[in-house]
Amino acid sequence: MIEEYGWSDRRQTAFAEHALAGLTPGRVVLQHRDSYLVATDGAELKAEASGRLVHEAGEIGYPAVGDWVALSLNPQDGSATIHAVLPRDTALVRKAAVDSTRQLQILAANIDVVFVVTSMNADLNLRRIQRYLAAARQSGARPVVVLTKSDLSADPERQAAEIAASDPGCPVVMVSVKQSSGLDALLDQVKPGETCVLIGSSGVGKSSLVNTFLNEDRMAIRAIREADDQGRHTTSHRQLVLLPGGQLILDTPGIREVGLIDAEDGLNTVFDDVEVLTRSCRFSDCGHATEPGCAVNAAIADGSLAPERWAHFQKLTLELAAAEQKAERVAKAAEKRRLAGQQKAYRASKRDHRGGLR
């Protein structure tokens, strides 16, 4: 059973030290707050992270869906305790605001393919797609753009071509669950034994895709509001599902904004052609406005760089810089509060000490 979830000889070797400690391997298939469902060789078990793992989480973070973990089994109640997280091959991450600081949030681990899902309705937004692609590239997995509800578009071929041109080399697949079109082509992007994750805004059809692949209503879905073409949040947890063809698919709650902090590498990959141009200008501090010898302006003039692509790159770069500045301000404010708290506690202890001497 555990082999169906991607267990291999390589992972068995990595697990050797935990096996010597009497622990059992498993893969996290569902996460709901601090509770987990873990697939093992015998069954799927409810699990919680050990106190030590929570205390030592640090940069590795808490267990996430897709993680391979080391478990101790509790036969009495059919549960398990997670003691360690195996090294991740890939990880889809973002920064999340927690307790007024910016912390790493792992959305999915050990994934092979990232499906960037968006609906072909009035909410179709190229800039948002590129934000998701930046996060997908950074994860280490292969990105694929999935355009759902193609039956809602007046000219789906033209829209798909525009998106494909914005990131050459990234597959773009149009699907319509209503018309049962494009589904086989989408599944062909994932080999049996590989894991894919669906990311995208609420209501774009991620859960509908999972239900269609399973041929059952496993995931709750809700239609897009006709008034503004915006979706409502449906999936409230992350869940890894085994498909009949042997692929593994992970649905995630809708994400309105992808945190761009630490996503610079992914952004540069999406716009690698633009990055090359910015480094080819005559002057290293070129502002790409009226400076002579500007490679960016020359490329726009000869048609090799679309003005819209340059505008997208500039806007995302500014957003990344703003996000980093905001995170720095939040971190400084948190440190200031921490120091003020320490000083307050120190003054209180001095008062108590003086009072005890009288």
CA atoms of 83 and 25, how far apart (whole Å): 10
Specify the pLDDT at position 123. Answer: 66
- Phi, psi for residue 40 in degrees, rounded to 5: -120, -175
**pLDDT tens figures, 231-255:** 443 444 678 989 999 999 987 665 5
Specify the pLDDT at position 338. Answer: 65
Q: Write out the residue limits of the CATH 3.40.50.300 domain(s) in the chain.
A: 94-98+106-251
Percent share of the chain, pLDDT over 70: 74
Question: With bands split at pLDDT 50, 70 and 90, how would you rate the model's confidence at 132?
Answer: confident
Low-confidence winner among 71-80, 280-289, 340-349 (lowest mean pLDDT)? 340-349
Low-confidence winner among 39-53, 55-69, 138-152 (lowest mean pLDDT)? 55-69
Superfamily of domain 2-87, CATH level 4: Nucleic acid-binding proteins (2.40.50.140)
**Tokens describing residue 230:** 């915006």
Question: With bands split at pLDDT 50, 70 and 90, how would you rate the model's confidence at 82?
Answer: very high
CA atoms of 211 and 178, how far apart (whole Å): 12
Pick the CATH number of 94-98+106-251 from 1.10.510.10, 3.30.565.40, 3.90.950.20, 3.40.50.300: 3.40.50.300
CA atoms of 298 and 117, how far apart (whole Å): 34
**Tokens describing residue 283:** 């002057």
Share the mean pLDDT of the chain: 79
What number is the average pLDDT over the span 171-181?
91
Residue 311 has pLDDT above 70, yes or no: yes
| Amino acid in the structure at residue 83 | H
Specify the pLDDT at position 356. Answer: 59
Specify the pLDDT at position 271. Answer: 64
Q: Write out the residue limits of the CATH 2.40.50.140 domain(s) in the chain.
A: 2-87
